[in-house]
Structure 1
């Protein structure tokens, strides 16, 4: 009886947990409430910021806040104008520059965005910085963290179903099946979904930066600089990000539509 009951519970969970991404309309699985995700991420963010060394460059820090706030305002305007005003309450925007040599930035749910000083060495204008911040804001708007957590929950449920189905098999078969399932879920599902999130954030970020008045054409040159800095050293199959070449190609293809539509 355990298998049918678990399958029934899984079906009900999937039915109740569907949503769609603003701008792209892609259907997504959201099994965790916004409140739970925001509460947990805020705690992690606050813990990080307590120890993170703030940048001593007032000029660059002001640039990060200026570009971030402008994109945030455009994002909220879009949500309100498209029947998604209720989503605005989920964002308490913060844009901080941290003294770290990494060429990187990250976003926490709720609009908590951190840019590292190492990335600013590649930034020559507000437009180029808008490429990065637009991408990070897009992750928050698309609820990619919630979706990633939901995928992990689903993978765990799948592992439980596999264990039930092999309950009468030998221990060796159970171990082998679990190992294969774990590898298959990671490489075949979890990583491609993460790459899909990155590609989606690239597209949405270009739209958001254009809505904010920035020039999305600079994205190609910026990502070429990122590629030259060594960001694409991990094989795409085993990476959470698309290859630099694929990212740049996808952006080139998307730009005419974005400029015509927005």
Structure 2
């Protein structure tokens, strides 16, 4: 049993060998092409539009203003589709192919343009760092590795099925969820710099997560969560604040200072 567990772990590690690097230099597994990811992003955004009402007017203009300032720091000429959805959850997302969605519930937590920029910068950073590709690649490779192991070891008995269940749990909590937490922390750092380069005050990111913490109903243990705890996020942001503040001061000195008016 022990050798089988070691072999399974080794197989999963080898399956997840990296073939690219993130903007921070971290190794990544990215099995899918940009075209495939963009198609996935477009399909997901269309589905979201079909399920939730789109909000326009002053709310839409405000979110568009913040998002445009953020995405303006990226490739020149690239256009991002930005929409606000009527949903009470404090959530936002960005998808490959240039799609940004913001739920109305987020505007109750992100109370000014700088706090909203912290969220949008974070979500856009996920796209820049190819986290969606890495996520689906990791899940695909993990599932393939377990299937190959089961066939090779002949684990079709009741005991074998139980072992496969344990291996599946190990893959979930040992590989997939930590990758998710790593993505979140990386997006926090990249997004912090992105919002600062656009002229938004990066210190607002701390205020945002303090608001999130005050409004939360409790969190699962970190090892069972796909996200770092609020306290961990705040500590991570504070650790990179000096660099972000330098970028912010450079942007302000160069005349970058968005003035997005929140709806009254």
Which of the residues 206, 229, 236 maps onto 2:215?
A: 229
Please state how far the C-alpha of 1:101 moved relative to its aligned partner: 0.7
**Contact residue 131 and residue 209 of structure 1 kept, 8 A:** yes
Provide the residue aligned with 1:34 in structure 2: 34
Deviates more, 1:225-234 or 1:185-194: 225-234
Confirm or deny that 1:209 pairs with 2:208.
no
Confirm or deny that 1:130 pairs with 2:129.
no
**Contact residue 232 and residue 243 of structure 1 kept, 8 A:** no
Provide the residue aligned with 1:139 in structure 2: 126
Distance verdict in 2 for CA 1:219–1:141, change over 3 Å: same
Please state how far the C-alpha of 1:211 moved relative to its aligned partner: 1.0
Please state how far the C-alpha of 1:40 moved relative to its aligned partner: 2.2
CA distance in 2, matches of 1:199, 1:232: 20
Please state how far the C-alpha of 1:51 moved relative to its aligned partner: 3.5
The C-alpha deviation readout for 1:219-243, integer Å capped at 9, x for no partner, is 1111010111116522211111111
Please state how far the C-alpha of 1:112 moved relative to its aligned partner: 1.0
**Contact residue 93 and residue 120 of structure 2 kept, 8 A:** no
Distance verdict in 2 for CA 1:257–1:232, change over 3 Å: farther
Provide the residue aligned with 1:184 in structure 2: 170
1:1-262 matched pairs, under 5 angstroms: 18-22=19-23, 24-55=24-55, 58-76=57-75, 92-167=79-154, 171-230=157-216, 232-260=218-246
**Contact residue 92 and residue 110 of structure 1 kept, 8 A:** no
Gaps of 5+ in 2: 1-9, 249-264
Q: What's the C-alpha RMSD, in Å, of the aligned pairs?
A: 2.4
SS at match of 1:76: coil
The C-alpha deviation readout for 1:176-224, integer Å capped at 9, x for no partner, is 2110111001011100000100111111100110111111011111101
Please state how far the C-alpha of 1:99 moved relative to its aligned partner: 1.0
Provide the residue aligned with 2:4 in structure 1: none
Distance verdict in 2 for CA 1:46–1:14, change over 3 Å: same
Deviates more, 1:34-43 or 1:242-251: 34-43
Please state how far the C-alpha of 1:164 moved relative to its aligned partner: 3.0
CA distance in 1, matches of 2:199, 2:234: 21
Gaps of 5+ in 1: 1-6, 78-87
TM-score by length of 2: 0.83
Q: Which has the higher contact order (CA 8 A, sep 6+)?
A: 2
Please state how far the C-alpha of 1:55 moved relative to its aligned partner: 2.0
